[in-house]
Amino acid sequence: MTSELTLGIETSCDETAASVVTSENVVLSSVVSSQVDLHARYGGVVPEVASRAHVGLVNPVIAQALVEAGVEPKDIDLVAATKGPGLIGSLLVGVSAAKALSLVWGIPYIGVNHLEAHLYSCFLEEPDLELPLVVLLVSGGHTILVSMEDHLQYSILGQTLDDAVGEAYDKVARYLGLGYPGGPAIDQLAVHGKNTIEFPRPIINDGFDFSFSGLKTAVINYVRQNPETPTEDVAASFQEAVVEVLTTKARKALVNTGAKGLCIGGGVAANSRLREAVFDICLEDGLHSFVPSRAYCTDNAAMVASTGWRRFLEDGPDSLDSGADPNLKLHG
């Protein structure tokens, strides 16, 4: 059996990534060059800084992905790049590079929806996961609860009405003086704290949409009024509120849809408390839980390559005059 190879390229935000994945969903290489240090001094991702960095990094990262996979350019059958959503200047670097390689290597190009790629990140390690599934996609830009009925067929059950969960983490971390990125900082601190403060759980019993803006404000007001409270307790209590909201809604979605299991994806899926809680609720309910390795939760190109191949089989290639869409939505 001959296996087809997809080169995936991801430049939607602050990671420059490339990966080679086989048509059987085997990841031969997954290279991620993070710009986190570059942006940390600004307290967040600065789009122009990110775009400039992608230009210099994208080809070295692709070269590294080919070397690590042990393949030659002539072995690649499809090139896939994230076409949105994301920062437009950054997306265009990856899309331009991918289309150029498609031209000179004489292979098809496909643009990939970054959110769909996150949905598929769990299949990188368990290609045979049984559908239907509920997928909770949580990151710095998105909080989406999805019912995945079949491959490439899904519906959005709910999403955030204001801040994305990762955004709430970043803002709370910044207020607590923990620096950027906020997610890992709060996660590490929370381990040493106790869940002593009863923060609000916004709209926890009300549908599948989320709201984190009020929780973030409640945390900041609390710290203002109680400056003596240990920061680790604030972190632990905030994290507990977030995780309870996320898992309560995910659990309800599992019941409503009759799904066989729950997957999580996106940068916040790397959070240790959320990973533990997802495992626990599924164990209690006798359902399958799947929590990808941290490297496949945060932005990577393996998920882009794998999703690109799936979409290519379904829809065929994209035309070379296609561009990028910073506001691309998720639709099954």
Partner 1 sequence: MGHSVMIILGIESATSQVGCAIGGHEGVLASVHSSRGRRHAENLAPQIEFVRAQARINLSEISVVAVDVGPGLYTGLRVGVATAVSIAFGLGIPMIGVSSLDLLAYPVRHCSKLIVPAIDARRGEIFHANYRQVPGGVQRISEPAVSTPDDLAADLLAHGNEALLVGDGAVRYADMFANLRGVEAAEPSVAYPSAASIVQLAHAKALREEFVSPSELEPVYLRKPDAAEIEQQKRKIL
- Interface with partner 1 by CB under 8 A: which residues? 42-49, 51-52, 54-56, 58-60, 62-63, 73, 88-89, 92-93, 95-105, 171, 174-175, 217, 220, 320-324
What residue 56 binds from partner 1, Zn ion, none (CB within 5 to 8 A, per partner kind)? partner 1
Cα–Cα distance for residue pair 245/252, rounded to 1 Å: 11
Cβ–Cβ < 8 Å for 260, 130: yes
Cβ proximity to partner 1, 81 vs 254, nearer residue: 81
Given partner 1, Zn ion, none, residue 102, with its beta carbon under 5 to 8 Å by kind, binds partner 1
- When the beta carbons of 72 and 128 are compared against partner 1, the nearer one is 72
How far apart are the C-alpha atoms of 197 and 153, rounded to whole Å?
Answer: 41
Q: Which does 175 bind (CB under 5 to 8 A by kind): partner 1, Zn ion, none?
A: partner 1
Residue 259 binding partner per list Zn ion, partner 1, none, with a CB distance cut-off of 5 to 8 Å that depends on partner kind: none
For residue 193, give the DSSP letter: S
Q: Of 142 and 252, which CB lies nearer to partner 1 in the complex structure?
A: 142
Cα angle: 117, vertex 168, 55; to 5 degrees: 50
Residue whose structure tokens are 């929780």: 215
Name the amino acid, one letter, at 139.
S
| Closer to partner 1 by Cβ: residue 89 or 132 | 89
299's contact among partner 1, Zn ion, none, with CB below 5 to 8 A by partner kind, is Zn ion
Nearer to partner 1 by C-beta: 1 or 104?
Answer: 104
Per the structure block, which two tokens stand in for 113? 């929806």
The least CB distance from residue 174 to Zn ion, in Å, is: 20
Considering the complex, state which of residue 56 and residue 70 has its C-beta at the smaller distance from partner 1.
56
- Residues interacting with Zn ion, by CB under 5 A? 139, 299
Amino acid in the structure at residue 1: M
Give min distance, CB of 287 to partner 1, in A: 38
Instruction: Quote the least distance from Cβ 208 to partner 1, whole Å.
Output: 27
| Alpha helices (H) in the chain, listed in sequence order | 36-40, 47-69, 88-105, 114-119, 165-175, 182-190, 213-225, 231-257, 272-285, 294-297, 302-315
Residue 276 DSSP class: H
The distance of closest approach from Cβ of residue 265 to Zn ion in the complex, given in angstroms and rounded to an integer, is 8
CB 56 → partner 1: shortest distance, Å? Answer: 8
Minimal distance, residue 139 CB to Zn ion, in Å = 5
Cβ closer to partner 1: 291 or 304?
A: 304
What distances in angstroms separate CA 285 from CA 104, 136, 147, 244, 262, one per listed residue?
Answer: 52, 17, 18, 16, 11
Contact 288, 256 (CB under 8 A): no
| Range 98-103, long-range pairs (CB < 8 A, 24+ positions) | 98/7, 98/9, 99/320, 101/7, 101/62, 101/73, 101/76, 102/320, 103/320
Minimum CB distance to partner 1, residue 175 (Å)? 7
- Indicate which of Zn ion, partner 1, none lies near residue 42 (CB less than 5 to 8 Å, by partner kind): partner 1
